[in-house]
């Protein structure tokens, strides 16, 4: 500090010249006074006695305290300080003196010299500082040093990926582009950085993610030559997406010729767009993370990502981004101190020969007013820079930044709004009216939450001269920016603080937030629909979702892309066809009703008899759709009611729903309920879902009239259960949770109304069981176990009141099964086995009491599957084989009795697949590939009937994985890789739809491990390591603290593949502790011992 400049509050201290400077004010100090000032600042915040100062600055204490007191007085006079109300140097009675203002080091590059800036305004307004403005980028020296040191640490650990986190307006981009990159170019940190490139993800349009990255990387040069000669942005982006290791290889070739360890830097700005923009799919995110991880480990690329910190929950879900946190790879930007704000204001002004006016009334200098206002503002940096930019525009003679101009601008808080309103007010009525549509082009709401972010739009998206005039005026006022979007001219909001500080925009956002949210959902649906080839089943469903989307077409102020409009119109066309069919049926039924009415007029005496027959018919339907359906359920033959329920609907449709009485509405709802159950059993969930939604509309209408009807609440709960189950099977867990929580709430209301009703207890137990199932699938085993525990408690309570109720015993066995699964995931294998054995005992007892009931034999088969699995992971392969054989025999019998039951067909195929895997593990199976092909085709056939059923799709992927393993064992590596490609495609689609699906993630990891085996067999060690790395990346977030052997098994394999037993020791210990001894796992360990 003795020789280098530093800041003491708002004063810049230069020990070399014995001067202190505050803006244009410069004062000379005596050398001894400077020594005392430096000594106090070295121990800022701590008391320095007169004796200590004498020793340090005079070299002796023989002079007494008087020289110290005189020097402190001189310093206070020079700094404008007061002894009674000190701001800089405080007197501590009978102890000494203390420096109380903030002390900070000046910019590493040195403070700009007075008059050194001649390139116009030294302030950047709402745009970020860049390398061209590095000379006047002040006040962030310490943070720049922190960032350089952190990046050096990442290089030292072999993974140069640095995240810079902060709220919108905290100066992330300026710090990186005008602070970090120039520091690296100066050689700070000892890194040989030859070139850098910057890409703003918020500027990219649909499908441009990897092309944009490729374009940025093409900017890298070494000695005037590009590093990727012969590549276009599109071709390089494709290679980065498909094979990032190849891109790393090209970099090594280009930079490997340098004598030192030359590197290049890539800055990715507004990284939150990866999570917020609906056109970036989950598959693209995964590919991007894999590419970033590979480049960061290449030893040639320094990756710096700037991201808003309100997206940190998404970062925490992404292993690639979370991995380096322990090594300091996440730097959080703190707000600037008052001293740093003073530097940001005064030093650039000094460099440009500007000076700040003094308020004639308060005698305050404008720079002090700005410091005070900026220190109190949450949007300090963008507001301050724009205010300074506007003050520069309105500067007076000789470069004076005036107080009157500051007041006209509305002060720091009002400057953006006042300037924006001035610009808009100067335009005609048509450009002012165009603001809404322009904002709709630039603003988006995250589909997952309510966070509003900005994006860039092409000029071509502006449809009228009024819109172009408005945007041109805002660009000229520097409130908007004009720049390239992809490869065409575009524009955007200069800084997101404008969204908060311009009242007109903030009000528009508040009024249109719902519309922005709807558009975000439409954009997500459109990306999925286009990506899968425009299938009809991915069109928007009739009802609220389609109505909301159609409403967007009628809103000229809300922009939609051509593909989004195409999706809405195609969905509307499909809905119209359905409505026309319904209208035709209605006309036909109406005609029949007319005939019936005419007949009724001619036979008035028969009306009473007909009414009696109608009531009798409805009573008969009530029996057929109620009690008879209940009797058919245990046999799995609800398909026998298909014709009955359809005829019931035809009968009840004879009059409009408004004319139906309560009993008829109830019968209609029951008909819809049976139709849905029949379609579920036949593997037609879409038809079931449609029937259930129609039933829900009826029930909601009835509950409005009778909100305390226990019967209606029970039926509403049952309806919500089936809707939730369908959504659960389809992997739509957010919807599933909403329906299942509705189911729980309905059953709770019934129980409150009838606290001694056993049926109400049973329904409550079903609801808790369903929520536990959802929690288990989401990977929250502890929450699942709690829900299953409540379910079992309620069923035991009900069983005490109804000891002979076989259905209740079956349901209790069901809950024990799910509780066993939760305990499996938590590593409590013995407890899980005890629960499965209890389930088997209950199912066996029920089967003995009712031999013909397929429902009981299906439950026993399910228990046998669980026991087979638990015995297998405990290492008892023989016992597991016996249980699988028993389960297969039971399911064969059931399928023979009910050949149309798709659910039982799928269960049988899955048991056969599991048994085949076990048998092959034990020593090979004759004709294994042929058997696997039969099973794979069966799964494919079933999945085709219900494409959204993720469980069936995962089982098909399992069959493909086992096929790949069998082919590899025969030495057919190419065919094995082809089977894996198909399996991986299935799994990645499931993972893209629902990245919380733990089983899908585990299966993807196993796919990568098998790829590693294929590469290892071919002698390609690098490719094998890549497969193991990808497997580990998928599981890293869950593997840290789980006891779930499904996750730990592939995690251990990935660690052993990469680093040996040391890296896997914690997971190995957990698996050993829970008693995991699955044969293939034990074999793998023996090979890597």
pLDDT digits (tens, 9 = 90+) for 288-324: 999 999 999 999 999 999 998 877 888 888 889 988 8
- Adjacency order of strands within the sheet including 96-99: 47-48, 96-99, 89-92
pLDDT at 343: 84
Residue 585, pLDDT above cutoff 70: no
Per-residue pLDDT tens for 233-252? 889 999 999 999 999 999 98
Give pLDDT, residue 971: 84
In angstroms, the CA 773 to CA 725 distance is 10
DSSP tag of 133: G
Residue 281 half-sphere exposure, CB side, CA atoms within 13 Å?
21
Rounded CA separation 747/713 (Å): 7
Q: In what order do the strands lie in the sheet with 480-485?
A: 457-458, 488-493, 480-485
Please give the torsion angle defined by the CA atoms of residues 185, 189, 192 and 198, in that order, rounded to the nearest 10 degrees.
-50
Highest mean pLDDT (candidates 97-106, 543-552, 631-640, 695-704): 695-704
Cα separation of 142 and 148, whole Å? 10
Percent of the chain with pLDDT over 90: 13
Computed over every residue of the chain, the mean pLDDT equals: 81
Of the candidates 36, 20, 38, 37, the residue with the CA atom closest to the CA atom of residue 28? 20
Encoding tokens for residue 183?
């520091």
Task: Compute the Cα dihedral for 1017, 1022, 1026, 1028 and give only its sign.
Answer: positive
Residue 129 to residue 385: CA distance in whole angstroms: 10
Q: Write the pLDDT tens digit of every residue in 482-509.
A: 765 655 667 877 777 677 767 788 887 8
Secondary element (H or E) of residue 221: strand 221-222
CA distance 102 to 100: 7
CB atoms within 10 A of CB 188: 19
Mean pLDDT computed over 815-836: 84
- Alpha helices by DSSP H, 658-684: 662-681
| Distance between CA atoms of residues 740 and 728, nearest Å | 10
Q: Contact 1044/1038 with Cβ under 8 angstroms?
A: yes
Q: What does the buried/exposed string (b/e) look like for 269-282 if buried means 16 or more CB atoms within 10 Å of the residue's CB?
A: bbbbbbbbbbbbbe
**Count of residues making up the chain:** 1089
Q: Which CATH architecture has domain 140-332?
A: 3-Layer(aba) Sandwich (3.40)
**202-211, 595-604, 829-838: which has the minimum mean pLDDT?**
595-604
CA 933, distance to chain mean position in Å, is 37
Summarised one tens digit per residue, pLDDT across range 670-696 is: 777 777 777 776 667 787 888 888 888
In sign, the C-alpha dihedral spanning 82, 83, 85, 86 is positive
Cα–Cα distance between 411 and 401 in angstroms, integer?
13
* pLDDT at residue number 681: 67
Long-range contacts (CB closer than 8 Å, 24 or more residues apart) made by 1011-1019: 1011/977, 1011/980, 1012/1057, 1013/968, 1014/968, 1014/973, 1014/976, 1014/977, 1014/980, 1017/968, 1017/973, 1018/973
Both ends of the chain: CA-CA distance in Å?
57
CATH number, domain 6-105, options 3.20.20.10, 3.30.70.1350, 3.30.479.30, 1.10.10.10: 1.10.10.10
Q: What is the dihedral of CA 201, 203, 207, 212, to 10 degrees?
A: -70
Question: Is residue 839 a contact partner of residue 794, using CB atoms and an 8 Å limit?
Answer: no
Using the predicted structure, report yes or no on whether residue 938 has a pLDDT greater than 80: yes
pLDDT digits (tens, 9 = 90+) for 703-736: 888 888 888 888 888 889 989 988 888 778 788 8
Average pLDDT of the segment spanning 440-450: 70
| Helix and strand counts by DSSP (H, E) for the chain | 47, 22
Classify burial at 638, counting beta carbons within 10 Å of its beta carbon; exposed 0-12, middle 13-18, buried 19 or more.
Answer: buried
CA–CA gap between residue 998 and residue 1000 (Å, rounded)? 5
> pTM to 2 decimals?
0.45
Cα dihedral: 364, 368, 372, 377 (round 10):
120
758-790 pLDDT, tens digit each: 888 888 888 888 898 888 877 787 888 888 888
> In the prediction, which pLDDT does 220 show?
92
Percent of the chain whose predicted confidence (pLDDT) is above 70: 87
Q: What local confidence, expressed as pLDDT, does residue 217 receive?
A: 92
Task: Read off the DSSP letter of residue 58.
Answer: I
Answer yes or no: is pLDDT of 652 > 50.
no
Alpha carbon distances (Å) from 899 to 637, 688, 904? 10, 19, 9
Question: What is residue 110's predicted lDDT score, i.e. its pLDDT?
Answer: 56
965-988: string of b/e by CB count within 10 Å (b at 16+)?
bbbbeeeebebbbebbebbbebbb
CA gyration radius, the chain: 36
- How far apart are the C-alpha atoms of 470 and 408, rounded to whole Å? 23
Identify the bridge partners of residue 22 per DSSP, sorted by sequence position.
25
Rounded Cα gap, residues 1055 and 157, in angstroms: 18
Three-state secondary structure of 386-444: HHHHHHHHCCCHHHEECHHHHHHCCHHHHHHHHHHHHHHHCCCHHHHHCHHHHHHHHEE
Closest CA to 949 of 959, 939, 958: 939
Contact 1058, 1032 (CB under 8 A): yes
Segment 353-371 mean pLDDT: 84
Which residue has better confidence, 118 or 807?
Answer: 118
Q: 670 is written with which tokens?
A: 């029951």
Name which residue leads in pLDDT, 1026 or 381.
Answer: 1026
Q: Note whether 346 and 22 are within 8 A (CB).
A: yes
CA 668 to CA 714: how far, in whole Å?
16
Q: Residue 155 has what pLDDT?
A: 92
Those residues whose C-beta lies under 8 Å from the C-beta of residue 580, and which sit 6 or more positions away, are none
How confident is the model at residue 590, as a pLDDT?
Answer: 66
Q: Give the largest Cα separation in the chain, rounded.
A: 133
Q: Which two tokens stand for residue 460?
A: 């071509």
The secondary structure of 942-992 as a DSSP string is HHHH-TT-HHHHHHHHHHHHHHHHHHHHTT-HHHHHHHHHHHHHHHHHHHH
């Amino acid at each position: 500090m003795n020789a280098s400049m530093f800041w003491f509050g708002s004063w810049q201290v230069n020990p070399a010249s014995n001067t202190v400077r505050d803006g244009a004010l410069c004062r000379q100090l005596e050398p001894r006074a400077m020594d005392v000032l430096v000594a106090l600042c070295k121990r800022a915040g701590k008391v320095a006695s007169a004796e200590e100062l004498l020793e340090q600055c005079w070299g002796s204490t023989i002079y007494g305290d008087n020289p110290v007191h005189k020097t402190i007085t001189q310093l206070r006079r020079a700094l404008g300080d007061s002894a009674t109300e000190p701001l800089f140097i405080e007197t501590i009675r009978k102890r000494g003196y203390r420096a109380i203002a903030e002390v900070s080091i000046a910019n590493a590059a040195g403070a700009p010299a007075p008059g050194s800036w001649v390139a116009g305004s030294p302030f950047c307004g709402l745009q970020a500082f860049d390398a061209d403005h590095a000379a006047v980028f002040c006040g962030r020296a310490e943070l720049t040093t922190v960032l350089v040191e952190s990046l050096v640490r990442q290089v030292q650990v072999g993974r140069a990926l640095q995240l810079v986190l902060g709220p919108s307006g905290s100066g992330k981009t300026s710090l990186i582009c005008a602070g970090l990159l120039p520091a690296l170019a100066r050689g700070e940190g000892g890194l040989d950085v030859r070139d850098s490139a910057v890409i703003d993800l918020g500027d990219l349009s649909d499908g441009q993610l990897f092309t944009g990255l490729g374009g940025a990387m093409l900017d890298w040069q070494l000695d005037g030559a590009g590093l990727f000669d012969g590549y276009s942005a599109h071709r390089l982006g494709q290679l980065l997406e498909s094979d990032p290791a190849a891109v790393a290889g090209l970099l090594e070739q280009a930079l490997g010729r340098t004598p030192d360890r030359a590197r290049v830097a890539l800055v990715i700005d507004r990284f939150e767009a990866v999570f917020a923009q609906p056109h970036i799919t989950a598959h693209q995110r995964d590919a991007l993370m894999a590419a970033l991880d590979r480049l960061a480990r290449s030893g040639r690329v320094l990756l710096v990502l700037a991201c808003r910190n309100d997206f940190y929950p998404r970062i925490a879900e992404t292993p690639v981004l979370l991995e380096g946190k322990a090594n300091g790879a996440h730097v959080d930007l703190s707000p600037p101190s008052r001293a740093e704000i003073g530097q940001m204001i005064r030093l650039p002004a000094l460099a440009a020969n500007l000076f700040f006016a003094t308020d004639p009334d308060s005698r305050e200098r404008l720079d002090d007013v700005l410091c005070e206002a900026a220190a109190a503002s949450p949007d300090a940096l963008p507001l301050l820079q724009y205010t300074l930019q506007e003050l520069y525009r309105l500067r007076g003679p000789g470069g004076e930044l005036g107080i009157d101009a500051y007041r006209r601008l509305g002060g720091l808080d009002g400057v953006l709004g006042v300037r924006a309103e001035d610009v808009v007010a100067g335009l005609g009525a048509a450009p002012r009216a165009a603001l809404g549509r322009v904002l709709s082009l630039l603003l988006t709401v995250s589909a997952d939450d309510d966070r509003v972010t900005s994006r860039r739009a092409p000029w071509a998206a502006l449809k009228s001269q009024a819109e172009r005039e408005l945007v041109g005026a805002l660009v000229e006022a520097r409130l908007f920016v004009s720049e390239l979007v992809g490869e065409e001219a575009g524009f955007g909001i200069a800084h997101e603080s404008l969204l908060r500080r311009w009242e007109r925009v903030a009000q528009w956002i508040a009024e249109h937030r719902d519309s922005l949210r709807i558009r975000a959902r439409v954009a997500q649906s459109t990306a999925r629909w286009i990506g899968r080839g425009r299938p009809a089943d991915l069109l928007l469903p009739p009802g609220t979702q389609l109505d909301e989307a159609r409403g967007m077409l009628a809103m000229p102020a809300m922009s939609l892309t051509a593909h989004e409009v195409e999706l809405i119109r195609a969905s509307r066309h499909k809905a119209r066809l359905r409505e026309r069919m319904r209208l035709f049926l209605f006309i036909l039924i109406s005609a029949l009703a007319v005939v019936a009415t005419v007949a009724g007029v001619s036979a008035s005496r028969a009306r009473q008899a007909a009414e009696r027959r109608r009531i009798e018919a409805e009573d008969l339907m009530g029996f057929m759709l109620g009690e008879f359906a209940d009797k058919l359920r245990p046999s799995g033959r609800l398909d026998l009611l298909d014709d009955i329920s359809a005829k019931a609907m035809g009968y009840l449709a004879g009059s409009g729903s408004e004319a139906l009485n309560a009993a008829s509405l109830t019968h209609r709802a029951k008909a819809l309920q049976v139709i849905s159950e029949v379609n579920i059993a036949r593997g037609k969930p879409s038809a079931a879902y449609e029937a259930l939604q129609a039933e829900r509309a009826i029930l909601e209408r009835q509950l409005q009239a009778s909100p305390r009807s226990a019967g209606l609440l029970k039926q509403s709960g049952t309806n919500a259960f089936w809707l939730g189950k369908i959504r659960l099977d389809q992997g739509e867990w957010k919807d599933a949770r909403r329906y299942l929580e509705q189911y729980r709430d309905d059953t709770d209301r019934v129980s409150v109304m009838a606290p001694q009703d056993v049926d109400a207890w049973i329904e409550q137990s079903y609801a808790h069981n369903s929520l536990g199932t959802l929690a288990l699938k989401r990977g929250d085993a502890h929450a699942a176990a709690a829900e299953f525990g409540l379910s079992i408690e309620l069923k035991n309570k009900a069983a005490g009141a109804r000891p002979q109720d076989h259905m209740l015993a079956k349901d209790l066995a069901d809950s024990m099964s799910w509780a066993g699964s939760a305990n499996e995931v938590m590593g409590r294998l013995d407890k899980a086995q005890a629960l499965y054995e209890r389930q088997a005992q209950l199912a066996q007892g029920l089967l003995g009491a009712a031999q013909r009931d397929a429902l009981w034999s299906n439950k026993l088969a399910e228990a046998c599957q669980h026991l087979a699995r638990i015995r297998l992971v405990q290492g008892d392969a023989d016992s597991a084989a016996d249980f699988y054989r028993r389960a297969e025999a039971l399911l064969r019998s059931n399928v023979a009795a009910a050949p149309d039951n798709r659910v039982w067909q799928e269960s049988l195929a899955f048991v056969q697949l599991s048994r085949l895997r076990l048998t092959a593990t034990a020593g090979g199976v004759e004709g294994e590939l042929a058997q696997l092909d039969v099973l794979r085709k069966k799964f494919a056939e079933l999945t085709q009937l219900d494409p959204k059923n993720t469980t069936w799709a995962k089982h098909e992927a399992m069959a493909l994985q086992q096929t790949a393993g069998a082919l590899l064992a025969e030495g057919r590596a190419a065919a094995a890789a082809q089977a894996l490609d198909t399996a991986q495609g299935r799994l990645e689609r499931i993972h893209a739809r629902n990245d919380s699906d733990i089983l899908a993630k585990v299966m993807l990891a196993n796919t990568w491990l098998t790829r590693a085996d294929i590469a290892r067999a071919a002698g390609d060690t690098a490719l094998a390591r890549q497969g193991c790395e990808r497997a580990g990346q998928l599981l890293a977030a869950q593997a840290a603290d789980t006891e779930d052997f499904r996750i730990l098994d592939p995690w251990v394999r990935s660690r052993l593949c990469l680093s040996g037993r040391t890296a896997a020791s914690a997971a190995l210990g957990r698996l050993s502790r829970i008693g995991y001894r699955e044969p293939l796992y034990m074999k793998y360990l023996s090979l890597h011992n």
